[in-house]
């Protein structure tokens, strides 16, 4: 499997992420996906697939910036980086090289760290086209990349248990069902485990999306 195929597997497993941190520019506040959350999702998949991402600083410039705040003057270091990211497939040695640029401003020596952190986070987000807008997240369906779109009528008929409370099962049983469905194993009656799970738990839309996402990740992790 080439580095390109492995990157595609990472991309197909990371369709969207909801912002979990908050920043501020002036009086405007905004939400963003933190580096810790992003790497918490991508890194385990990279490890399973045998992918390494290296960073090389090609060029760097630092400029002292002094500006006024409500508490008086403040001086920080504005750092601009030219970075070369290289993906390496540890199995066949194939590589993919990308150039990237980033800025960061912080207290003196921390300017470099800010630029590196910013570069890594946004490079990964844009490389894998990870949606972070709330509208995009609500609209995305995890399995639409591997299944044909269902008709509106079929979607409406998919879950007849919306008026009944969700009854989650224990974790061991849940993951056994995820594994069986991922492998294409049929139930004793010849049905599929996804439908059986929905029927047993009265799963709702968000529960089903999570199930499909878990199936997708299980399949990737086990090369199914």
Higher pLDDT, 147 or 87: 87
Structural domains of the chain ordered from first start: 3-137 (3.30.390.80), 142-221 (no CATH)
Please provide residue 135's backbone torsions phi and psi, each rounded to the nearest 5 degrees.
-65, -40
**Beta strands at 95-106 and 72-89: parallel, antiparallel or unpaired:** antiparallel
> Within its chain, how far is the Cα of 144 from the centroid?
16
Nearest CA-CA partner of 41 in 217, 176, 202: 217
Looking at residue 162, its pLDDT comes to 58
Looking at residue 94, its pLDDT comes to 93
Higher pLDDT, 150 or 107: 107
Name the 3-class secondary structure at 40: helix
pLDDT in tens, 53-96: 999 999 999 888 887 777 788 888 888 889 999 999 999 999 99
Range with lowest mean pLDDT among 45-54, 108-117, 134-143: 134-143
How far is Cα 21 from Cα 32, in angstroms, rounded to an integer? Answer: 5
Which residues neighbour 125 within 8 Å (Cβ) at sequence distance 6 or greater? 33, 38, 132
Cβ atoms of residues 3 and 94 within 8 Å: yes
User: Using CB atoms within 10 A of its CB, is residue 181 exposed (0-12), middle (13-18) or buried (19+)?
Assistant: buried
How far is Cα 60 from Cα 81, in angstroms, rounded to an integer? Answer: 5
| pLDDT band per the 50, 70, 90 thresholds, residue 160 | low
How far is Cα 163 from Cα 154, in angstroms, rounded to an integer? Answer: 18
* Max mean pLDDT range (69-78, 100-109, 140-149, 193-202): 193-202
How far is Cα 3 from Cα 96, in angstroms, rounded to an integer? Answer: 7
Name the 3-class secondary structure at 81: strand
Looking at residue 25, its pLDDT comes to 57
Higher pLDDT, 18 or 112: 112
Residues above pLDDT 70, as percent of the chain = 82
| pLDDT band per the 50, 70, 90 thresholds, residue 133 | low
Looking at residue 224, its pLDDT comes to 77
Which residues neighbour 110 within 8 Å (Cβ) at sequence distance 6 or greater? 77
User: Using CB atoms within 10 A of its CB, is residue 142 exposed (0-12), middle (13-18) or buried (19+)?
Assistant: buried
Could you give the maximum distance between any two Cα atoms of the chain, in Å? Answer: 74
Looking at residue 26, its pLDDT comes to 57
The whole-number average pLDDT for the span 148-173 is: 60
Looking at residue 221, its pLDDT comes to 79
How far is Cα 178 from Cα 197, in angstroms, rounded to an integer? Answer: 9
| pLDDT band per the 50, 70, 90 thresholds, residue 145 | very low
pLDDT in tens, 30-53: 677 787 888 888 899 999 999 999
Which residues neighbour 182 within 8 Å (Cβ) at sequence distance 6 or greater? 215, 218, 219, 222, 224
């Amino acid at each position: 499997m080439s580095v390109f195929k492995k990157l595609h597997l990472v991309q197909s497993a990371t369709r969207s992420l909801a912002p979990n941190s908050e920043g501020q520019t002036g009086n405007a506040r905004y939400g963003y996906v933190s580096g810790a959350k992003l790497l918490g999702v991508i890194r385990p998949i990279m490890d399973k697939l045998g992918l390494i991402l290296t960073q090389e600083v090609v060029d760097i410039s630092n400029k002292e910036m002094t500006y006024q705040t409500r508490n008086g003057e403040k001086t920080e270091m504005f750092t601009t980086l030219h970075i070369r990211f290289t993906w390496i497939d540890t199995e066949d040695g194939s590589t993919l090289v990308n150039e990237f640029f980033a800025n960061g401003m912080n207290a003196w020596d921390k300017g470099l760290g800010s630029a590196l952190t910013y570069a890594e986070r946004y490079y990964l987000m844009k490389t894998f086209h990870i949606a972070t807008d709330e509208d995009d997240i609500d609209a995305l369906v995890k399995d639409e990349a591997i299944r044909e779109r269902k008709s509106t009528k079929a979607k409406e008929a998919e879950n007849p248990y919306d008026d009944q409370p969700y009854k989650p099962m224990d974790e061991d049983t849940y993951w056994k069902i995820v594994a069986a469905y991922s492998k294409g194993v049929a139930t004793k009656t010849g049905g599929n485990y996804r439908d059986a799970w929905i029927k047993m738990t009265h799963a709702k839309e968000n529960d089903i999306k999570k199930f499909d996402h878990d199936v997708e990740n299980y399949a990737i992790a086990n090369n199914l």
